[in-house]
Amino acid sequence: MDGPSVQTISQAITNPDFWVDKLRFEDPETFKELCGGMLTRFLDLPGPELSRVLGTSPVKDKRRFLAKKKAGGVFGAPLTEEGLAQIHQLIDFLGNHTHVEGIFRIPGNSHRQQRLKDSLNSGVDIDLDLGEFTPHDVASVLKIFLGELPEPLLTTRHYPAYLQVPDMMLFDKSVKTDKPNKERQIETYQLLFWLLPNVNRKLLQAVLSLLYKTAQAQKDHKNRMSAHNLGVMFAPHVLWPRSLTIADLKDNVNKLNGAVAFIIKHSQRVFLAPVQLRAQCRLHYAAKEKSAAQQKTASSGNTASPSDEVAQTRAKKRPHEDAESKTQTDLALAQLYAHVQAMPDSHKKRKYVKQFNDHSNCTPGSPNHKVLPRTRGKHVRSKSWGAAITKLFGSNKPQTQTRSGAHSDPRRSSQTPTSDRIGARISSHTEVNTPGAICRNTKKTQDTPAKNRMIPTAFSQAQQLAEKENVTLHDVETSPIAL
């Protein structure tokens, strides 16, 4: 389901109640539940009465209806689409004669009325414009038809709800006033009218439109028929239950007549759907469209699209491509490994060796690969021991006088023994870094724990330096660092 069609969108734009009408016919049970939930906000109906209003439980009526006198008759028979079509002839004719004085109040001729009823029962088309029947005759026949229906046009099951609507009043600081809450009454009538059978709703809308037009003509002092007068005349035909007792009628007659008059005055609004009902019906279909789209996606999951096939092919090729790439990487690392081994012993080679040993992912993946050993003379805490000493004590280099009288570094002289060069270096180093110097700077004695910690460290540094210069440990021990 790809969403609403263009025709559906066009209908929804031209008809605001499109989704309400659609849900009412396609899913009546869900529609009744929505309307019932909204009615409970306005009406105080017990469970059984609410079920009868929604049409989920039967209504018992003690009155026995007489059978139809003639097959196919419309008077005294349940309301049908065929009967509605016949009665529409009367409504259309009266719509052009609403200005007649006393319309619906002054009775017509009984003989003409009977001929008109027989013609309607026979199902023939009648040309009322020929003048055979007066507007009063036609108006009287319309009231007779409504009065002879087996149940009122607003149905018997809705009668308890209509009794509560006129009692809806406004509140002022939580105090009930005597002013009617018109908006709440209109919304309640809207919900009740949407719950009517379709043929009842159509006829009610046609009759109320005619009565509204008649009441509007009264403002011009043409027919003297106000909405109140029309409500008094039509309440027994459209609202009173057929089994209504005299006691019930005595207590509620004014309320029922006023309810019909109110419906006539607001007939242009009572057949629209409340805003909340429109929103709920639209959300229902939106959720239905989303569910259908998910089911369609799930059902078409086994059928792979061209893009899915390309993705699957790439997924199948990926392991082979990864293996080939890994082989090329191992080959390149092996070549680099061989090149590093062939390099002469230097600081750069030691740097490369450290990188190979520290990063296992960079080592070649060949079976004969071995981790390269550290080269000699590499201190773990510095890049170059000799470079650090040279940088630190470069300004204190001891000077010797050559044959030509110029000064030179004894470490560069080939005539200076190796042990002397080491002693000179360590001697210059101990001037700054010996335990005695540290103790003097911190104003401590020679017996402080710092001396015990510094001597082994200096000895290990001297041993590493001796290994680098290829001298024996005995020569280092006799150097000034042992003092």
108 token code pair: 């017509």
**Count of structural domains within the chain:** 3
387 by DSSP, 3-state: which?
helix
| Residues 177, 245 share a domain | yes
Mark whether 40 and 139 lie in a shared domain: yes
One-letter amino acid identity for 212? Y
> Do 46 and 188 have their domain in common?
yes
Amino acid type, 209: S
Question: pLDDT value at position 407?
Answer: 46
Task: Examine the pLDDT at 376 and tell me if it is beyond 70.
Answer: no
| Residue in 265, 197, 203 with CA at minimum distance from that of residue 231 | 265
Q: Has residue 448 been placed in a domain?
A: yes
Whether pLDDT at 361 is above 60: no
Does residue 37 lie in a domain region? yes
Would you say residue 323 lies in a domain?
A: no
Say yes or no: 342 and 443 in one domain: no
Look up tokens 């939580």; give the residue. Answer: 174
What is the residue type of 223?
A: N
- Which of 24-38, 228-242, 449-463 has the weakest average pLDDT? 449-463
| Residues whose CB falls within 8 Å of the CB of residue 448, separated by 6 or more in sequence, listed in order | 439
CATH code for position 62 = 1.10.555.10
With a CB cutoff of 8 Å and minimum separation 6, the contacts of 321 are none
**CA neighbor of 350 nearest in space, from 333, 369, 374:** 374
- Do 341 and 416 lie in a common domain? no
Q: For the chain, state the CA radius of gyration.
A: 54
- The DSSP bridge partners found for residue 175 are 172
Is there a single domain that holds both residue 179 and residue 238?
yes
Residue pair 190/176 in contact by the 8 Å Cβ criterion? no
Q: pTM of this prediction? A: 0.60
| Amino acid in the structure at residue 18 | F
Identify the residue whose tokens are 């109906």: 45
Closest CA to 409 of 426, 389, 427, 425: 425
Residue 207 lies in a domain: yes
Q: What is the pLDDT of residues 93-139, one digit of tens each?
A: 999 999 898 899 999 899 999 999 999 998 888 889 888 999 999 99
Residue 366 and residue 389 share a domain: no
CA distance 273 to 31: 12
Q: What is the C-alpha end-to-end distance of the chain, expressed in Å? A: 95
pLDDT of 321: 60
For tokens 């108006």, the residue is 139
- 220 conformational bin, left if phi > 0, alpha if psi -120 to 50, beta if neither: alpha
Distance CA 197, CA 25 (A): 11
Q: Residue written as tokens 């389901």?
A: 1
Are 365 and 416 in the same domain?
no
Residue 313 confidence (pLDDT): 63
Domain end marker among 234, 266, 288: 288
Q: Looking at per-residue confidence, does 168 or 124 come out higher?
A: 168
> 181 in helix, strand or coil?
coil
Token pair 């009412």 in the structure block, residue: 24
Within 266-397, where are the H helices? 275-299, 306-342, 347-358, 385-392
Model confidence at 274, pLDDT cuts 50, 70, 90, reads very high
Do 390 and 368 have their domain in common? no
- List Cβ neighbours of 232 (8 Å cut-off, separation of 6 or more): 257, 260, 261
For 433, 448, 459, 481, the CA distances from 452, given in Å and listed in that order, are 14, 7, 11, 13
Q: If DSSP codes are grouped into helix, strand and coil, which group holds residue 20?
A: helix
Q: Residues 128, 133, 138, CA angle at the centre, nearest 5°?
A: 80
Asked whether residue 382 carries a pLDDT value surpassing 70, the answer given is no
Judge whether 302 lies within some domain: no
Same domain, 341 and 239: no
Is the same domain home to 108 and 65? yes
In this structure, the number of other CB atoms found within 10 A of the CB of residue 261 comes to 20
Range among 12-26, 157-171, 292-306, 459-473 rated most confident: 157-171
| Distances, alpha carbon 443 to alpha carbons 241, 312, 438, in Å | 117, 77, 8
Same-domain pairing of 356 and 453? no
Residue 47 belongs to a domain: yes
Of 71-80, 144-153, 280-289, 459-468, least confident by mean pLDDT is: 459-468
Angle at alpha carbon of residue 354, lines to 353 and 360, rounded to 5°: 95
Tokens of 266: 């607001």
**Domain contains 46:** yes
Cα-to-chain-centroid distance, residue 195: 31
Outline where DSSP puts E strands in 326-481: 400-401, 407-408
**350 pLDDT band (50/70/90 cuts)?**
confident
269-272-273-279 Cα dihedral, nearest 10 degrees: -100
Q: Which helix (H) or strand (E) holds 198?
A: helix 198-218
Task: Tell which residue, 328, 390, 329, 379, has the closest CA to residue 354.
Answer: 379
Model confidence at 393: pLDDT above 90: no
Range(s) of the domain holding residue 344: 334-373
Q: 199: how many CB neighbours lie within 10 A of its CB? A: 15
